[in-house]
Structure 1
Amino acid sequence: MPLTRIALRAGKPVEYRKALTESIQRSLVETFNVPKDDIFMLITEHEAGNFVYDNQYLNVERSDDLVIIQITLNNTRTLEQKKTLYKRMADELAESPGLRREDVFINLVEVLKENWSFGNGIAQYAL
């Protein structure tokens, strides 16, 4: 069950944001075996002064189209699965909505299964 937070500069059209979420979900389904209907994503848009980043950190040339993707998920994936996800997501986002690979920043936050409640005040994965 991933929870995905997507941060980007304000001003992109609805179609662009929809393409982001669809590409990210497709990547998660294909590489992490996430069910297609297991989709929980939050998009936040930021004005230029509230979206601060280094445009050359680690020799990656970033533009103002940078998208920061943070995914909270269970700590059950291998290093190889994570590497596969990073590549697949950059490829998917390059295809649609046409994002440069250099502008795809991904961060995984791993948690224990019992740290989720999907509703009703129940820790569904802890049962």
Structure 2
Amino acid sequence: MPLMKFHLVKGRSTEEIDRLLDVAHRAMVSSFKVPERDRYQILTEHEPSHLRALDTGLDLPRTSKFLLLEVVSRPRPRAEKLAFYETLCGALEGDCDMSPDDVMVSFTQNSDEDWSFGRGRAQFLTGEL
């Protein structure tokens, strides 16, 4: 936890996808101080005609490398979220040759009772986590 949902246009190699997922996880660990094994990622590839993301009037040139990242998480401080945005974009630019203009992130917050990692228990509530 957090749960990261990646939406990409089809066409990246397995190596590119692996690198992108690794970079995003490192940004999450760095920004939110989550444990290294706290890794939950789902990647969905879309046909180019099935993923549209304009720039909300910000004059951001989008390319076929566009990434929409949905993050589901317990509440996080504003400073940590801002650090995550910056760290993620910098790492994707350096390690994945992605423009920061192609990175869009949206957070959805939930609470401890909204997570069960298995065994039919809510580990944040039981004290297991």
Q: TM-score, normalised by structure 1?
A: 0.94
What corresponds to 1:28 in structure 2? 28
What corresponds to 1:72 in structure 2? 72
What corresponds to 1:4 in structure 2? 4
Query: Unaligned 5+ residue runs, structure 2?
Result: none
Check whether the contact 1:70–1:109 (CA below 8 A) recurs between aligned residues: yes
Share of identical aligned residues, percent?
26
Q: In the alignment, is residue 92 of structure 1 matched against residue 82 of structure 2?
A: no
Separation of aligned partners in 2, 1:7 and 1:41: 11
What corresponds to 1:120 in structure 2? 119
| Residues 70-92 of structure 1, C-alpha deviations (whole Å, 9 max, x = no match) | 111111x2111111110000001
Alpha-carbon distance, 1:119 to partner: 0.7
Separation of aligned partners in 2, 1:59 and 1:79: 25
Alpha-carbon distance, 1:113 to partner: 1.1
Alpha-carbon distance, 1:59 to partner: 2.2
Letter of the structure 1 residue corresponding to residue 41 of structure 2 = M
Letter of the structure 2 residue corresponding to residue 63 of structure 1 = T
Check whether the contact 1:19–1:97 (CA below 8 A) recurs between aligned residues: yes
Letter of the structure 2 residue corresponding to residue 9 of structure 1 = V
What corresponds to 1:107 in structure 2? 106
Alpha-carbon distance, 1:56 to partner: 6.2
Separation of aligned partners in 1, 2:77 and 2:55: 29
| Residues 35-61 of structure 1, C-alpha deviations (whole Å, 9 max, x = no match) | 111111000000011111215642222
Separation of aligned partners in 2, 1:66 and 1:33: 26
Separation of aligned partners in 1, 2:61 and 2:52: 15
What corresponds to 1:17 in structure 2? 17
Letter of the structure 1 residue corresponding to residue 111 of structure 2 = L
Q: CA RMSD in A?
A: 1.2
